[in-house]
Amino acid sequence: MTPGSPAPGEPRQQALVDALLALTSSSDVPFDLDSHAALVLEHAACLVPRSALSMEMPDAFGDLETVAASSAAAASFAAHAAHASGPSTAAYTSGDAVSVTDLSAAASAWPQQRSPATDAGFHALYAAPMRQGRTIRGVLVFYRSDASPFTATDCTYAQALADTAAIALTTHQTVAHQKILVDQLQRAFDTRLIIEQAKGFLAGHLSIDADAAFTILRNHARSHSARIRDLAREVMQTRTWPPKDT
């Protein structure tokens, strides 16, 4: 090794760090699964070289569907009917990676894969479940068209990318959920605030207490099929009672 040259495996280690940062970086742009999948495919080329890739996630019925593929051959193979009972589904349901070194072998545990694999030109396959704790978010399926097997290092980085993709999905969904929650709380606060303001105005305007003012607001809203927050907003805008628009 020459002085200053990277240690064996170091480029892929850095590529994994880059993938983690790229996939989990926060953004004001709403999360888009297609863009997320495109990033996974982009980083897979560095982490598991000489491989095609399909990213599969469960649909509304729990069946895997391909959300992205790095080549037409990968997309075709992943869409084949036999694929539904193949290694990717086994990896998804078990949470364990599935490796097939020769898809065309007579003794293969996945005989239904032989014909579509031959048509697609694939020889080996590695299905890595996208794991977030005990939750399996989907599967990354790596394909090779030559007889070179996936090495232990290839498998390690394939699984690391799959888990990174799952973590990123969870991160984005958590952020999205938190934003929804914050928006809901803000709306609730705004609603409560305008109602309290209307109660205060009405109490002073009619020389009554706040509870009585709220009862008047609520009964008026019910009798006019209006939402109390809309009524309260109208009261504060017009500073009149009863409001002119109800």
Question: pLDDT digits over 170-200, tens only?
Answer: 776 666 555 666 667 778 888 888 999 999 9
Give the residue, 33 or 138, on which the prediction is more confident: 138
Burial class (CB in 10 A: 0-12, 13-18, 19+), 67: middle
185-238 domain in CATH 3.40.50.620?
no
User: What is residue 134's DSSP assignment?
Assistant: T
Could you tell me the residue ranges of all domains in the chain?
10-179, 185-238
Q: How confident is the model at residue 246 (pLDDT cuts 50, 70, 90)?
A: low
pLDDT at 4: 39
pLDDT at 83: 79
Q: Name the average pLDDT for the chain.
A: 83
Tokens 């628009």 found at = 245
In our burial notation (b when 16+ CB lie closer than 10 A, e otherwise), range 111-148 reads eebbebbeebebbbbbbbbbbbeeebbbbbbbbbbeee
Summarize the confidence of residues 36-51 as an average pLDDT: 86
**Beta strand pairing status for 52-58 and 64-69?**
antiparallel
Summarize the confidence of residues 90-95 as an average pLDDT: 93
What dihedral do alpha carbons 29, 33, 37, 38 form, nearest 10°? -50
Which architecture, in CATH terms, is 10-179? 2-Layer Sandwich (3.30)
Q: How confident is the model at residue 6 (pLDDT cuts 50, 70, 90)?
A: very low
Asked if pLDDT for residue 64 goes beyond 70, the answer is: yes
Nearest to 142 by CA among 164, 158, 120, 160: 158
